[in-house]
Amino acid sequence: MTSPQYKVKLSQLAKEFAFEEIHIPEGIEHMYVRRSDMSRPGLPLAGFFTNFESERIQLIGNMENAYLASLSSTDRYDALDRFFQHDIIALLITSGLQIYPEILELAKKHNTPLYRTTIETSAIMAALIASLSLSLAERITRHGVLVEVYGEGILILGDSGIGKSETAIELVKRGHRLIADDAVEIKKVSSKTLVGTAPEVIRHYIELRGIGIVDVRRIFGMGSVKETEKVDLVINFEIWEQGKIYERFGLDTEYTEILGIKIPSITVPVKPGRNLAVIIEIAAMNNRQKKMGYNTAVEFNNKLMSQYQQNVDNDK
């Protein structure tokens, strides 16, 4: 179930998917969808309402339509009346099906929004769930930069002034894309996936100390920005500390937990002379290789162990 603190206007959703408006009651602008899951009300139409979820958008497709067609006009009216009495959020007729007069009459009687679409039931259900899962997802805002590098979503974190924005600009110059600077809104769209975007007011902008606000889209073109991107890797920038031991082989995978999901992460020490953009490019490619089943650190370690064993055998 989606958290109730997030909601989407029903009218906005209908406009997004170009639904045909059959009956729109007064106050539609104050009606909201708070659930990303859908219902096909076969059992409710037959009179079974145990665990019925009225906050879900209800879809009538070919199967439900065929059941209604099998009833007499009186029985169809009674079945639909029991159904509408449960204060459903909205009813959507799919596949361009004919709308029975009883449905329209009862939608008006119970002030229920009634829509129709020519899209088939399974297709529109999948599209609605995908859209609502993103809009209603649990979210958090992190101070950082999100860029797409070689298809990998890289979330750069670190203290203010450490060079996150400057590195992002360098990456954009090298052909990669900016998603968000300064504030990254991260949404949990599934049990395994985080998607990041920028708050609308600062989308496509970067703040560079000494210069000010820069419009990346206008300077570098539309290909330099992207609206959203998955978070595949977290890179933590920190000031280089003399004497501190940093990871050199990469055998142990570290993780950063965001919204209950563990994302692979690395720590990059920052000091003058380091080309951070190149380091991030290599980190992105390396992370992509790991997802494809190739781990350079493990292979290198296996070679070392094999060489060591060979030397031991030769000494015997």
Tokens representing residue 230 in the block: 């998955």
DSSP H or E run through 171: helix 164-173
**Active-site annotation holder among 15, 143, 173, 174:** 143
CA-angle at 214, arms to 188 and 222, nearest 5°: 65
Side chain identity at 151, as an amino acid letter?
G
Sign of the CA dihedral running 209, 178, 156, 200: positive
What residues are paired with 140 via a beta bridge? Answer: 186
Give the CA distances from residue 204 to residues 223, 231, 315, in Å, rounded to whole numbers and listed in that order: 11, 18, 63
Active site residue 164: yes
**Active-site annotation holder among 37, 78, 81, 182:** 182
Side chain identity at 309, as an amino acid letter?
Q
DSSP category for residue 225? B
CB 174 within 8 A of CB 277: yes
**Active-site annotation holder among 56, 76, 139, 164:** 164
Active site residue 248: yes
CB 179 within 8 A of CB 198: yes
Q: Per residue in 21-31, is it b (16+ CB within 10 Å) or e — as a string?
A: ebbeeeeeeeb
End-to-end CA distance of the chain: 65
Helix, strand, coil % (nearest 5) of the chain? 35, 30, 35
**Active-site annotation holder among 192, 244, 248, 271:** 248
Residue 164: CB partners within 8 Å, gap ≥ 6? 144, 145, 156, 157, 158, 181, 237
Cβ neighbourhood burial of 147 (10 Å; 0-12, 13-18, 19+): buried
Active site residues: 143, 164, 182, 248
